[in-house]
Structure 1
Amino acid sequence: MVPTIHNSLKPLQEMDYFRMLERLLKLSIPNHIIWLIWFYTYFHSFLNLIGEILCFGDRQFYKDWWNAESLQYFWKNWNIPVHHWCVRHLYVPLLKRGYSKMTVTAIVFLMSAIFHEYLVSVPLRMFRFWAFTGMVSQIPFLFVIHSGFVQGHYANMFVWFSLIIGQPLCILACYHDYYVVNHALN
C-alpha cells in the first residue's frame, strides 16, 4: 500500500483524475483487506479474549453488519459497544429534549464525525477535516437509503461501495496534505 500511496502524490498535485482514480482503486482492495483483518483481530479475537478473562457475560461486540441493507443498519451493528454508548449518552437524551429522530441521528453522526477527525488529526498533527467530511457525507445517504429509494441488494452494494472506496479516498487526501505540510518544503 505504501508505494501506491507515494505514487499517488504526483497525480493528486497535477489533478490527473484518471491516474487519481487508478491509484484509489489500487489502494481500495488492500486497504479493505487490512480493515477486515483489523476488525476480526480486535472485535472477534481481542474483545472475546478480554471477555473470557474478565468473565464478561455479554460478548456481543458486533452483529451481521456485512449484510447491511442500509447505512443505519451498518452503523448500528458493526460496533455494538460504541452504538450502545451513543444511544445511551446522545440519542435518548436528545430525544427526551424534544428533538426529532432525524435531527438526533444527524447530531449523533456529527459527533461521530468530530471524534473520527480527532482520531486522525491528533496523530498527524494537522486538521484537514477529511475524516469529518467522510463521515458527514454519509448523512444524506442514510436518509436516501432509509427513504426506500435504494433497497435490498442494491442498498447492500451501496454500503460495501462506501466502505471500499470511502476509506482509501480519505487516506489519499490525508496523505497528500500530510506530505505537503511536512515534506514539500524540505
Structure 2
Amino acid sequence: MIIVAAPSGAGKSSFVERITREDSRLVDIVTFTTRSIRQGETAGLQYNFIDHADFEQKIKEGFFVEWAKVHTNFYGTSYSSLETAWNQGKTAIMDIDIQGVATFKSKFPDAKTVFIHPPSIDELRRRIEKRDGKVPADIEVRMANAEKEILEASKFDYQIVNDVFDKSYGEFKKIVEDLLA
C-alpha cells in the first residue's frame, strides 16, 4: 500500500492519476466524499460523491477503513475498495488527507507514505484559486490546514516538492517503482 498526502492543491491527485495510468501494478483507491464535484471530474473516477446523510450512515455501518472531516466535507476510504485491489493482485495507491494517514499507518504499519510539498504557500494559494476558475469559499480554511499539514511532512517515508510537475513526477515515479521492485 502506498499512501500519498499533501495539502489541497499540491498535486497529489495528479501524481496518483498519472502513475496508475502508466503502471498496471497499481490501483488508485477511489475514496468517498461529500464535497461537490468539480469541473472536469467524473463521479467514480476521482471520487465517489455522496451526500452527508449517506456518508454518516456508512460510518455507522463500519464501511470505512478511515474517514475524516477535511476542510468542510467528509472523506473516507472503504474496506471493499482495498480488498478488490488486493484480490486482483495489485498494489493499492491512494491520495488521502493527513488525518487519514495516521489511521492507515495504525491499521497497516507496512504502508509506505509520500508527502507532496507545494513550492510555497503563495503558490499553493494560486493553484487552488485557479483550479475551478474561482476562489473556493473555504480558501482560508484550506490555507490554514495546509500550514498544519506541512508540519506533519517529517513523519512520512518520502517527501517531494512539486515545483515543476514533470521533474517532480519523475521523482515520485522513481520512489514508487523502487517500492514495487
TM-score (normalised: structure 2): 0.27
> In terms of Rg, which structure is larger?
1
Structure 1 or 2: more strand by fraction: 2
